[in-house]
Amino acid sequence: MLRSKRIALTVGMALAAASVATVAVAATSGEQKRAPHDPGLSYADNSLSTFDGASGQFYNGQNATVSEFPAVIANQRSEGSRPMKQSCTGSVIGPRHILTAAHCHDLAGTKTFLYGLDDLQVGTGTTLTTKSYVKHPKFINWDQGYDVAVVTTNEDIPLSPDKWAKYATSADAGIWKVGDTGRGYGYGKKTHDDVPADVTLDKADLPIVDGTNQCQGVAAGYKLATMICAGYQDGRVTILPGDSGGPFVVGGKIVGLASWSRSDFRWYSIYARLDNDMGDWVKQQVGDTTPAEFGVSVDPASLTVAAGASGSVGVKTTSGSTVEDVTLSATGLPSGVTADFQPATVKSGDSAKLSVSVASGTPDGTHSVTVNAKSASGVTKTSTLSLTIGAGSPGADFGLGLSPASVKVNPGSTISTTVTSTVVGGTSADVTLSAGGLPSGAQAVFQPASIKSGTNAKLTITTTSSTPAGNYSVTVTGTSGSITRTATLALTVGGGDPQPGGLTIALSPSSASTFKGGGAFPSLTITGATTPVTLRASGLPPGGTVNFQPATVSPGQQAWAHIATSWSTPAGTYRITITGTASDGKTGSAVFTLTVT
């Protein structure tokens, strides 16, 4: 989730490049030498990074989907400059309640929220308007603590109670400790200068550090009572503007909200802390969110079973104001199909297993099966299971294409193309999309994953730093019932040709800027190795050193290079060649560009 802009408010989850002079550098005497005091910035969308090398290559951040954290929601404001007016990030904690950062309230413009999208520019989602936006009464500014707010919407948020986010209160004191790893989510920026502008959902894992000793000297300073400090001193993994208010999750609960960082966003990430009176205040604002009646859902909501076979799904119930017995049954079963619940009666809030058996000779087809849940008090709730037998319904014919049909991407980056479809024979087809033939380490995401023929979808291919350079033919397949159509995407990774010598070394980032006495910490991913690889570096600046961890890398193992400069290192740009030599004679190299200011 990386992102950035005008004054460090919300942090978007892209991961910032791994190099910046440290704010505090330990001297040999044990004293600290500090850079001039940094005013800090929040992670709001209008925060602008002071880092002047904002092309930044980011790593360790990952694409995320709403299904991973269903409570995540995008904040928008009418005066916002980002795509879809995205401003901050929040979490659904009630039928009409959203948890976010207090400083997001103070940004100019009318506030709305957009729910249900992995990419805010693909699909429609659900737009919600603001009824009230209440900041914590002790909030003054993001670096003073109490950076928490609760929003009440005018409309119901389309999320079942069992998927509302759980948040920490004082009752959860001790839920986190220094050394734990938390996961953050956000729709914020992916690069420091927001080029290209990206409003997809990201996630990042950050270690919690000792903020009292490690996170001082910026803005008004870290305060243990109201803040959590996570990440790394050099910002090798960090979040950027657009994610303010985004959740930081430990142990299944939100323990912090993205709040602020140093003004270059190449430092630790500071979160508003909730396992204290701040979380208690949130609970008071939301009140009792227990639904009056129980609910039922099927997970997953679709199941494919061949004739003569069986399959199963989970049936989940949620408890209402009282716990009672719930009896389960199924209707709408086609001939030759039976359903068995294990157990057939559960307490509301518990789950059951639904096994579906299909007799031999049952025709292919797609059917909607209704799962009924009836409580002891006489209330009935239902959920729908889409059951596909064999190849499903015959489907309808359609055409499939790509625009453009040829794309190029560097390892560790993403690229997108449009999947086009046409109606054939006058009947619109329901088309499910998939991709094959991807290079190692690459992933394909369709948005949406299913379309009506005559409409389009976005295909995004994400590579890792270890994805080998080369030319690949990616097959995009559309399926409608028993009918399939394909289109071929010509994908070029890197220069299109594998590196000579048998090894490919990918650096993330491949360049960085630092002050004299500072350093950079790129990661190294080596592919093509079947035996241990020994690392070395050449072209270091005067006074520079490099330390590989580990110095000898086993096949499939990742390494780090700690490139350090001294106070006497001359300013300039240096091309440092990192070479790997395997014990079987294979070699490979990569160049890291280091700018010393």
**Could you give the C-alpha distances from 200 to 14, 314, 466, 594, in angstroms and in order?**
10, 30, 23, 30
Closest CA to 268 of 221, 302, 202: 221
Does 216 reside within a domain? yes
Q: Are residues 197 and 55 in the same domain?
A: yes
Does 98 reside within a domain? yes
Rounded distance between C-alpha atoms, residue 225 and residue 419, angstroms: 50
Does 283 reside within a domain? no
pLDDT of residue 166 exceeding 90 = yes
Mean pLDDT of 359-383: 88
Both tokens of residue 476? Answer: 């995009």
Q: Are residues 206 and 346 in the same domain?
A: no
271, 38 contact by CB (below 8 A): no
**pLDDT bracket for residue 42 (50, 70, 90):** low
Those residues whose C-beta lies under 8 Å from the C-beta of residue 564, and which sit 6 or more positions away, are 518, 519, 544, 545, 546, 547
Q: Are residues 157 and 74 in the same domain?
A: yes
Q: Are residues 264 and 189 in the same domain?
A: yes
Rounded distance between C-alpha atoms, residue 8 and residue 246, angstroms: 14
Q: Are residues 566 and 586 in the same domain?
A: yes
Mean pLDDT of 545-549: 87
Residue finishing a domain among 276, 310, 338: 276
Does 560 reside within a domain? yes
- Tell whether omega for the bond before 343 is within 30 degrees of 0, i.e. cis: yes
**pLDDT, position 292:** 60
Closest CA to 8 of 38, 46, 41: 41
DSSP letter for each residue of 204-223: EEEEB--HHHHS-SBTT---
Amino acid at 513: S
What's the number of domains the chain is made of?
Answer: 5
Residue finishing a domain among 163, 197, 229: 163
Does 288 reside within a domain? no
**pLDDT, position 31:** 29
| Run of H or E residues at 283 | helix 277-286
Those residues whose C-beta lies under 8 Å from the C-beta of residue 398, and which sit 6 or more positions away, are 421, 422, 423, 424, 429, 431, 453, 478, 480, 483, 485
Does 30 reside within a domain? yes
Both tokens of residue 352? Answer: 């059951």
**pLDDT, position 358:** 95
Q: What are the tens digits of pLDDT across the range 223-248? A: 999 999 999 888 877 777 788 999 99
Rounded distance between C-alpha atoms, residue 590 and residue 579, angstroms: 7
Q: Are residues 347 and 225 in the same domain?
A: no
10, 107 contact by CB (below 8 A): no
Q: Which residue has the higher pLDDT, 521 or 277?
A: 277
Compute the chain's Rg from CA coordinates.
Answer: 26
User: Is residue 404 packed enough to be buried (19+ CB in 10 Å), middle (13-18) or exposed (0-12)?
Assistant: exposed
Those residues whose C-beta lies under 8 Å from the C-beta of residue 216, and which sit 6 or more positions away, are 24, 222
Tell me the range of 280-289, 347-356, 424-433 where mean pLDDT is highest. 347-356
**pLDDT, position 526:** 86
Collapsed DSSP state (helix, strand, coil) of residue 42? strand
Between CA 59 and CA 65, with CA 63 as vertex, the angle to 5 degrees is 160
Those residues whose C-beta lies under 8 Å from the C-beta of residue 140, and which sit 6 or more positions away, are 146
Q: Are residues 413 and 483 in the same domain?
A: yes
Beta strands 295-299 and 337-342: pairing type?
unpaired
- Tell whether omega for the bond before 542 is within 30 degrees of 0, i.e. cis: no
Q: Are residues 385 and 414 in the same domain?
A: no
Q: Are residues 23 and 94 in the same domain?
A: no
**pLDDT, position 342:** 96
Does 182 reside within a domain? yes
Both tokens of residue 125? Answer: 């989602």
166, 175 contact by CB (below 8 A): no
Closest CA to 267 of 4, 19, 520: 19
Both tokens of residue 253? Answer: 């609960």
Q: Are residues 252 and 370 in the same domain?
A: no
Mean pLDDT of 291-300: 79
**Could you give the C-alpha distances from 473 to 229, 408, 495, in angstroms and in order?**
44, 12, 15
Mean pLDDT of 162-171: 92
Both tokens of residue 530? Answer: 């079947």
Q: Are residues 95 and 178 in the same domain?
A: no
Q: CATH code at 94?
A: 2.40.10.10
Q: Are residues 52 and 90 in the same domain?
A: no
What is the dihedral sign for C-alpha 401, 407, 410, 414?
Answer: negative
**pLDDT, position 564:** 84
Q: CATH code at 528?
A: 2.60.40.10
Q: Please give the residue range of the domain that contains residue 412.
A: 398-493
- Paired with 414 in beta bridges are 462
Q: What are the tens digits of pLDDT across the range 84-134? A: 999 999 999 998 999 999 999 988 889 999 999 999 988 778 889 999 999
pLDDT of residue 51 exceeding 70 = no
Q: What are the tens digits of pLDDT across the range 93-106? A: 998 999 999 999 98
**pLDDT, position 465:** 72
- Tell whether omega for the bond before 137 is within 30 degrees of 0, i.e. cis: no
Rounded distance between C-alpha atoms, residue 135 and residue 106, angstroms: 10
Rounded distance between C-alpha atoms, residue 476 and residue 483, angstroms: 14
49, 263 contact by CB (below 8 A): yes
Tell me the range of 113-122, 492-501, 521-530, 587-596 where mean pLDDT is highest. 113-122
**pLDDT, position 372:** 94
User: Is residue 470 packed enough to be buried (19+ CB in 10 Å), middle (13-18) or exposed (0-12)?
Assistant: middle
Residue finishing a domain among 464, 493, 522: 493
- Tell whether omega for the bond before 196 is within 30 degrees of 0, i.e. cis: yes
Does 412 reside within a domain? yes
Rounded distance between C-alpha atoms, residue 55 and residue 192, angstroms: 7
Tell me the range of 232-236, 256-260, 381-385, 519-523 where mean pLDDT is highest. 256-260
